[in-house]
Structure 1
Amino acid sequence: MPAATSFRSLFAMLCLATAATLATGQSPPVVKPVLPPEIAQPRFVVPDASQPLVLQRVNVQAQLAGTQAQTSVEIVVHNPNARVLEATLEFPLAEGQGVAGFALDINGELVSAVPVPKDKGRQVFDDVTRQRVDPALLERTAGNSFKLRIYPLPPQGERRVLLQLTETLHADTKGPWRWRLPLDFGQPIARFDGRIALRGATAKLLPQGALAGAESFANADEAGLQIQRQNWQPREALAVSWQATPADSTLVQPYAGSAYGYAELAVDATRGAAKPPRELHLVWDASGSGAQRDHAREFALLDALFAAARDVRVNLTVARDAAEPAAAFDVKAGDWRVLRNKLETLAYDGATSAAAWSAGFGPARDGAVTLLFSDGLVNWPAITATPAGPLAPVFAVTAAARIDAPRLRRLAESQGGRLVDLNRLDTLTALDALIRPALRLADVRADGAEQVVTASQRPEDGRLLIAARLTAPQATLQLTLVDAQGRRVPRTLTFKTPPAAKTTDDDAAVPLAARRWAELRSAELEADRPRHRAEIRRLGEQFRLVGPETSLIVLDNLADYVRHEIVPPTAAMRAAYQQQARLRDAERGQARERQLDSLVRRFAERQAWWEREFPKDAPPPPKPVAIESADVGRLRDARVAESMQRVAPVSAPAMAAPPPPPELMIAAPAPVAESVSVSVTGTRASAKRSDTAPAPSATIALRRWEPDAAYARRLREASDADRYAVYLDERAGYTNSTAFFIDAAEIFFTKGQQALALRVLSNLAEMELENRHILRILAYRLTQADELKLAIPLLERVRELAPDEPQSHRDLALALAQAGQPQRAVELLWDVAARPWDGRFAEIDLIALTELNAIAARTSAVDLGRVDPRLRRNLPLDLRAVLAWDADNTDIDLWVTDPDGEKAYYGHRLTRQGGAMSRDFTGGYGPEEFSLRQAKPGRYEVRAQFFGHRQQLVSPYTTLMLWLATGYGTPGQKDERVVLRLSGRGEQVLVGTFDVAPPAGGGGR
């Protein structure tokens, strides 16, 4: 059925529905078709800039051929500030658009980027920026959103970057083909040059949007438009349209030793009779990101759907981090005002869970349909099972700038529905897709080809896109199509490799056919990403795709490529790289041996400390020491110098140190306000006790975190019934504040409102979808709340994002041990202990080894076969305190003061009674550890001190994670954890106390 006929029929149906409604005396539904929006605009983000960057020049070159477009965007940016900056260009792409590559100017020449595993790309970028040299990293953040990180932008200097984009073009609803590119950076462009050319066609390009007024040109090969502007800020996207008739096209191209076929088949676009649903399961994603969807377009589609369906039973499920109980609505004669009012008054809050969606999917019944309205950006663990049994067809509807289209498409098509993208379809075309059956691809059989993939089972714009990897010079694909009337229609597609085809070399651009196959294959695998991560990564690296597992990076010189084990971009560099790589491989084995030898030596020193007897009597009075304020300053300066170097491991003889100067000792212990206590019972053994002796009787008291912000006071004072409304009222002013959501969640937890506390806390997952710092904070707080089923998947994700940081492995291991999975916990901790890490993570290996042995001692079923026998010994402790934090390149100090008033800290790592402080952590996330084998009776205070940082923080605050334990490594071990924060340099906070009781009988020890 032609498009015009389809629209006439649809309008007639809607008019009949309106007339029937008028006959009943009810107000008719208003059906206002809404057109698709423009693509979201790119933005430069430079948090530390006092003056905005200046766009000196932007040059756009677009080549249009058939249904494909290749676009290059060259940007020259000027930094008017007096300091070096890092800039991030954030830009979403429409479905069908992708990044083919980018280049950065280094010493005046554009250097092409190379593919790299995504986690490694982030690691290398951060490492290289610490050295203040020239990297650039392009990565996909979530769904269709990308960001390009550039460093450095020199003060009063310029950088030039070239982006290369590819696109499969679509026809709009009126027939013409269209290309468009958003280019409003939010500021003027000093000079803009643009050229858009259509190859091999006689059609004329019609300028639209910001290209209005562009000049035409034509030659023997192409025709198009060109434009030049000065001090120009385009308010609309660059856009052109032209008339073309879609026809079958096939392409076979070799690449890297294989041949790939890509075809676009023109198919019958006739649709069947309308079948509006009689039962509708409406799943409404009301997570935080849902507020960014265009609800006007969503409501316009529902207006049209209910006008067509007239009488329908609606079961509404509101989905966030969890699903709310379903609510039933009866729509009569198209009147859905009660349901609409419910949707219009929803609060968009919390994370996005795919399990919450599936809770609303309806069972398969005649006339039943499920509609899912979402952006598809899942960020919350699924801990509930999906519904069992056959389900009603699922149609995924999206109207957001940032979307995960592959996820939504695969989900819908797996349940017999389709993706309805309101970014591309107007209201009536979208309604047509919902209620009128159309042709679909049911089956593909291949001879001479493998891994056949399609963009969708449903044709778009009258075309079916299909690709395959060829295993023979000629391949035949037998397609089975099912038309709008349900009839099976066979069709044959043939791919022939050209006789003169030659494989491309490694430096050549990936040809279109190979690239499209790789993109479609990767999108198919993303539907089950955890199972297919390795294959998705291999595809990204081989075909230079920017995706969920690969990024593109540019480095400054060959030494950087060698050091980080990244194959450089040119053949000339690769020869030298291979030679140096062989030397690097030999060094890697030696480094692991040195690491193990060092760990054995330092563990022997720790055992010597543990076995040593320390005095527990009253200390002698300190000798008076006069210290001028200048001396205190010199001590602090010396500490800074010390923190920048590798400090020698603490040995038993060397650990003894004089007590700190009186000016640096804290006051006598004070009571802890608003504390919660856990009693730890046990009996004191002899002074010379075994590895398994029980702990003393002790109590842990943690300081409850009570922020003094006005919003926190309002939340604490509100009634249980009103507290969530107060939170929503305050939230608008803190949407990007991690501190706000942590504070608010803490109050809900304290008041016993667990489900709301989790919803509020889950907003951290919505803030930056791949920010490991924020995810780590979130996981720590969930662990504290004993929500390990949620915390562990998030820590798995942190480990994926930062496998080069030992804290990622250790955090996951400790959560697994807490959740009753000691074997995997021990294996992860052994990896932390045995692997050579960057120097800024020194001594985390010894802490991990301590934790490994403690877990093994408490669980007899653990296999320690991988652990070196010299390192298998549990060293139980009366008291242990461990401090970690969320911000990299940040220096937080752990202080523990014993009953004698003696403080263990970075400058005094061994106390008179044997309290040992681990090495100072100044360049990572901690941990810093205080250990005491035998604790004398009295109170021990635990404090944290913010010393400083050398980075852009995630928020104005640094979040701390404290773990206090008594009877550590024994069957009677008791743990308390707390998450709190510091606001800036010099601030300290009292975390909690250990109160150790005298041994039974009242005697001393």
Structure 2
Amino acid sequence: MNKIFNICALLFFSAVFSQIPTLDVENQKKNSVILQEVKIETKILGNLASTTATYIFYNPGDRILEGKFTLPLPEGVTISGYALDINGSLRDAVPVPKERAKEVFESIEKRNVDPGIIEKVAGNNFRTRIYPITARGTRFIRITYNQELKNSATDYQYFLSFANAVNIPKFNLKVLVDESLTTPNITENPDGSFTFQKKGNQWVAEINKTNFTPNESLKITIPKVNESSNVLVQKASDNKSYFAASVAMNFPVKEKAKSQKIAIIWDNSFSGSKRDHKKELDFLNAYFLENKDIGVSFVLLNNILEKTEEFTVSGGNWSALKNRILTLKYDGGTDFSALKEIPQTDEYLLFSDGISNFGDLTLKFKKPVNSIASTPTSDFNLLKLLALQSGGNFINLNELDTQSALKTFNRLPILFLGFKESNTIQELFPNVGTAVNEPVNIFGIASPNLGKLTALFSVGNKKFEIPVDFNNAVQADKWPIAQFWAQRKINDLELNSTQNSDEIRNLSEQFGVVSKNTSLIVLDDIDDYVRFGITPPQELLPEYNKIVSQNKKQILEKRKSLLSKAFDKTRELATWWNSEFKPSEKKQYPTISKQSQKTSGQESLVSDEAVYSASNSDKTKSKGKITLIDVESNQEYMKDFQTLQSAELIYQKYLENRPKYEKQVTYYFDVSKLLFKKGDKTLSLKVLSTLAELDLENEELYKTISYLLKQRGNYEKELWITQKILEWRPFDPQSHRDYALALVDNKKPQEALNVYKSMLYQEYTDEISVRDTGIEEILIMEINNILSQNKNVDASKVDDRLKANLPVDIRIVINWNKDNTDIDLWVTDPRGEDCSYSHRSTEIGGRLSNDFTQGFGPEQFLLKKAIKGKYKIKTNFFGERQNILSGPTTVMAEVYLYYSDGRQERKIAVFQSQKENKRESDSKILIGEFEF
């Protein structure tokens, strides 16, 4: 099995876009990836800029690497171009639905070829994955994005951050400013020699350096022409044009009424520690200088909404509140579903990055919410939506200084009311009735020969008119005005992304803009474009069309449903269940070895550790007994907790030590388990939910969370987590199954049955069909269990060929959280016979499902009739894909007595590999016993 080493680098941006990404491989410092060359070119026209950045990385090590890094972009900016080198030259990516891109990427990745994708994840963050970066090989990537420049009364401002830049062997930076009548002014210079010279109708500045480390970032101001508006136009079809109009506004500021009582909602989740608290405190200080006597309700938001604290600010003295903020501890996930109205509040100030990773926002506030962002990784759209729906203001401290932010907070919003001559304009953005900043950039589709138009605005009950002269529009057909327009429309639609998903996807695919619903993908082989039905870039189109026309049926991707195999598996299970098993007198069996049978040495027989047990009937008391094992952590940090008796002391030590283990998944997993043992479910859940903050849309972390939630009976959150995983990975049968099982836990058997049905009928790629061969056996048992345990469900939803009455004395299922992983289930019966991957049936009737050597599993053991004695349950970590960020593989074992016969009992064990992803001779772990 391939071992793929993930590189995870979260890049933090200053103002616009940090142009110097760094890739590090944890625990492989000698073989870290080197950034060999950077080439950046920015074109500026009026208040619009288009930037293309090319990076060349070198892998000096002797192992294949997978590249993964996350790019936070500022409010309103998105990726509009991506290219990856194929056979030494850059190939442009093409747009495809997001989940499809991920499915195709993972299918091709298994063949060790060269796909690359870039996708939008939570907030305005963009993640690119590149595979493979070969041993002692190089990879090129090119990223293009469009942005509107920061707009002031006298100039436009362009900023390019080189914060934390390292030495770069080859560095090229070029900026071209079109149609500017005056020389652009460089106020921050990377090396002092970067200067503009006039070339034709452009101002051009360029530097070429070797072994260069930028001393400063680049900041350029471009003086405006003395006009109230500037218009750029790009021709479209049907004799129409896309336009971008920069409209200056000099309206009298009308301030909103002052509040007597405010509520501050302070996000102190783990990610809250990454916000710019200095900017936030400076803003509050300025606010209280103007609002000297005011009541403040202060409430903390993490994975819960904590108890409200009351403060009184008198004479502008807010020191008590400030000290409370300065001493806050940041921990836990973020759950916007916990938000509630706070009584006797005139308005809210919400300080958060807006990324809710533990629940969805459901509350519509009755009083204005002023949402305040101070980190470039924020979900700007959600924060704007909160403000827009409630009548508050959105304040972006990434772009506004303190006084400008306070001015924005205090004023009544300026509303854009469209153009007086509305019949000549289509598809305006911002939308009519939307609050806008000043100056404003207006995008739309226009008829020709517009002449002079009038833009309408309102402040409070007063209306204002601004002339916009299309006669002086600059024809910019080589500029992506259409992409700017599409980007604006998508940003608007993403305020309600679920409702508008189809329209977002269509726009993204049409204009090549990355969105929540659409990614960009590059494939290595022309046959893969044909096979997966993806239209390639222009240079491959002739060959693509030729192959499609000549050989379509042979090359198009094979997709299979699970249904026919499920019918066969139902018959096979029924035959097995109806068979009689008469064991011989022999009680000694040969050892079956894929690895040595030694146990890990890390388990201890203890009282069932935080396991959940449920009986569905008061029928005859079961004679069997389940004892699960607590697989203890062997991490060095656990020694620090050994002498601590109370949950509160353990939690304080956890916070104290966390900086040393901040990105180590096992740390949160182990401490959460420890706190749960001590009986503190609240603190245990807070620590567990922090795992959701370690990465964006990471299904491996979310599966780990869902396993522990299921084990602890927190079924409502289990359902939310599994639903998110299903949204990200609808192409995995396991995602559907986990969601269906969560529905069963939430006493929604009919909905679960519907999910199982759709799972069997859905078509999967050939790779996934092969990877998951045998999963039908597990699904059939679970479908029939729903039918036997819930007599009121509509059984007509299930094909009769899938129905079978299959009660068993013992059922064990192991599940794991990582793809490309081989974990084996071993069950030893009282006679000493092992049931395992190479001996899948025993003399007493034990039956093991298919051995999943890659994928997420699951594997299942069944025994219809148990004989007296002890049964041992073990797992073997045979092969794991090492994903550094997600930590070692997490396994959930569901252990049942009397499955489907009315006396059903379940206990659950959740544990992680203790072997640091290495094959060891003693890697088998004892996880439990049955006794009959």
Fold shared, TM-score > 0.5 on shorter chain: yes
Is 1:323 the counterpart of 2:339? The answer is: no
Residue deviations 1:850-875 (CA, integer Å, cap 9, x gap)? 21121122222333445332222231
| Matched residue type, 1:194 | L
Match of 1:583 in 2: 553
Q: Structure 1 residues 860 and 447 mapped into 2: Cα distance closer, same or farther (>3 Å)?
A: farther
How far off is 1:256 after superposition?
7.2
Is 1:748 the counterpart of 2:675? The answer is: yes
Q: Structure 1 residues 211 and 950 mapped into 2: Cα distance closer, same or farther (>3 Å)?
A: same
How far off is 1:779 after superposition?
1.3
Task: Report SS of the residue matched to 1:515.
Answer: helix
CA contact (8 A) 1:832 1:845 kept: no
How far off is 1:303 after superposition?
1.0
Match of 1:54 in 2: 34
Match of 1:463 in 2: 439
How do 1:599-610 residues align onto structure 2 when only pairs under 5 Å count?
Answer: 599-610=566-577
| Matched residue type, 1:673 | V
Q: How many angstroms apart in 1 are the aligned matches of 2:419 and 2:297?
A: 36
How far off is 1:804 after superposition?
1.9
Please give the root-mean-square deviation of Cα atoms over the aligned residues, in Å: 3.4
Match of 1:806 in 2: 733
Is 1:284 the counterpart of 2:266? The answer is: yes
Is 1:453 the counterpart of 2:453? The answer is: no
| Matched residue type, 2:522 | V
Task: Report SS of the residue matched to 1:722.
Answer: helix
Is 1:967 the counterpart of 2:898? The answer is: yes
Is 1:818 the counterpart of 2:739? The answer is: no
Task: Report SS of the residue matched to 2:497.
Answer: helix
Match of 1:769 in 2: 696
Match of 1:646 in 2: none
Q: Structure 1 residues 578 and 463 mapped into 2: Cα distance closer, same or farther (>3 Å)?
A: farther
Residue deviations 1:754-792 (CA, integer Å, cap 9, x gap)? 222211111011011211111111112112222121111
Match of 2:720 in 1: 793
Q: 2:608 aligns with which of 661, 675, 691?
A: 675
CA contact (8 A) 1:672 1:993 kept: no
Match of 1:532 in 2: 500
Match of 1:378 in 2: 356
Q: How many angstroms apart in 2 are the aligned matches of 1:420 and 1:197?
A: 31
Q: How many angstroms apart in 2 are the aligned matches of 1:521 and 1:308?
A: 37
Match of 1:619 in 2: 585
How far off is 1:318 after superposition?
0.8
| Matched residue type, 1:903 | D
Q: How many angstroms apart in 2 are the aligned matches of 1:950 and 1:587?
A: 26
How far off is 1:409 after superposition?
1.4
Is 1:995 the counterpart of 2:928? The answer is: no
Is 1:707 the counterpart of 2:627? The answer is: no
Match of 1:333 in 2: 315
Task: Report SS of the residue matched to 1:60.
Answer: strand
Q: How many angstroms apart in 2 are the aligned matches of 1:869 and 1:412?
A: 53
Residue deviations 1:181-202 (CA, integer Å, cap 9, x gap)? 2245742111222221111111
Task: Report SS of the residue matched to 1:747.
Answer: helix
Q: How many angstroms apart in 1 are the aligned matches of 2:19 and 2:470?
A: 39
CA contact (8 A) 1:362 1:369 kept: no
Q: How many angstroms apart in 1 are the aligned matches of 2:46 and 2:66?
A: 39
Match of 1:437 in 2: 412
Q: Which range moved further: 435-444 or 306-315? A: 435-444
Match of 1:863 in 2: 794
Match of 1:642 in 2: none
| Matched residue type, 2:158 | W
Match of 1:248 in 2: 229
| Matched residue type, 2:895 | L
Match of 1:15 in 2: none
Q: Structure 1 residues 907 and 664 mapped into 2: Cα distance closer, same or farther (>3 Å)?
A: farther
Q: How many angstroms apart in 2 are the aligned matches of 1:779 and 1:671?
A: 24
Match of 1:195 in 2: 174
How do 1:9-28 residues align onto structure 2 when only pairs under 5 Å count?
Answer: none
Task: Report SS of the residue matched to 2:688.
Answer: helix
Match of 2:9 in 1: none
Q: 2:661 aligns with which of 724, 728, 734?
A: 734
How do 1:677-692 residues align onto structure 2 when only pairs under 5 Å count?
Answer: none
Is 1:182 the counterpart of 2:161? The answer is: yes
CA contact (8 A) 1:372 1:395 kept: yes
Is 1:215 the counterpart of 2:195? The answer is: yes
Match of 2:333 in 1: 351
How do 1:104-115 residues align onto structure 2 when only pairs under 5 Å count?
Answer: 104-115=84-95
Query: Gaps (5+ residues) in structure 2?
Result: 1-13
Residue deviations 1:469-496 (CA, integer Å, cap 9, x gap)? 679998999965222x641336787999
Q: How many angstroms apart in 2 are the aligned matches of 1:255 and 1:581?
A: 36
Match of 1:542 in 2: 510
Q: Which range moved further: 272-281 or 893-902? A: 272-281
Match of 1:426 in 2: 401
Task: Report SS of the residue matched to 1:43.
Answer: coil
Match of 2:205 in 1: 225
| Matched residue type, 2:147 | E
Task: Report SS of the residue matched to 1:970.
Answer: coil
How do 1:23-172 residues align onto structure 2 when only pairs under 5 Å count?
Answer: 40=18, 42-47=20-25, 50-171=30-151
| Matched residue type, 2:579 | R
| Matched residue type, 1:126 | E
Query: Gaps (5+ residues) in structure 1?
Result: 1-35, 640-662, 685-692, 997-1005
Q: Structure 1 residues 249 and 970 mapped into 2: Cα distance closer, same or farther (>3 Å)?
A: farther
CA contact (8 A) 2:616 2:904 kept: no
| Matched residue type, 1:240 | I
CA contact (8 A) 1:681 1:695 kept: no
Larger radius of gyration: 1
Q: How many angstroms apart in 1 are the aligned matches of 2:310 and 2:196?
A: 58
Q: Structure 1 residues 722 and 155 mapped into 2: Cα distance closer, same or farther (>3 Å)?
A: closer
CA contact (8 A) 1:104 1:136 kept: yes
Q: Structure 1 residues 601 and 185 mapped into 2: Cα distance closer, same or farther (>3 Å)?
A: same
Equivalent residues, number? 896
Match of 1:305 in 2: 287
How far off is 1:39 after superposition?
5.4
Match of 1:11 in 2: none
Task: Report SS of the residue matched to 2:839.
Answer: coil
Match of 1:944 in 2: 875
Q: 1:892 aligns with which of 790, 808, 823?
A: 823
Task: Report SS of the residue matched to 2:196.
Answer: strand
Match of 2:6 in 1: none
Higher RCO (C-alpha under 8 Å, 6+ residues apart):
2
Q: How many angstroms apart in 2 are the aligned matches of 1:682 and 1:102?
A: 54
Q: Which range moved further: 775-784 or 704-713? A: 704-713
Match of 1:644 in 2: none
Is 1:913 the counterpart of 2:844? The answer is: yes
Match of 1:409 in 2: 384
Q: Structure 1 residues 936 and 422 mapped into 2: Cα distance closer, same or farther (>3 Å)?
A: same
Match of 1:830 in 2: 757
Q: Structure 1 residues 495 and 244 mapped into 2: Cα distance closer, same or farther (>3 Å)?
A: closer
Match of 1:517 in 2: 485
Task: Report SS of the residue matched to 1:606.
Answer: helix
| Matched residue type, 1:369 | E
Q: Structure 1 residues 990 and 347 mapped into 2: Cα distance closer, same or farther (>3 Å)?
A: same
Identity of aligned residues (%): 29
Q: Which range moved further: 866-875 or 560-569? A: 866-875
Q: How many angstroms apart in 1 are the aligned matches of 2:351 and 2:616?
A: 57
Q: Structure 1 residues 289 and 175 mapped into 2: Cα distance closer, same or farther (>3 Å)?
A: farther
Residue deviations 1:295-333 (CA, integer Å, cap 9, x gap)? 111111111111111111111111111111111100111
Task: Report SS of the residue matched to 1:559.
Answer: helix
Task: Report SS of the residue matched to 2:22.
Answer: strand
Task: Report SS of the residue matched to 1:718.
Answer: coil
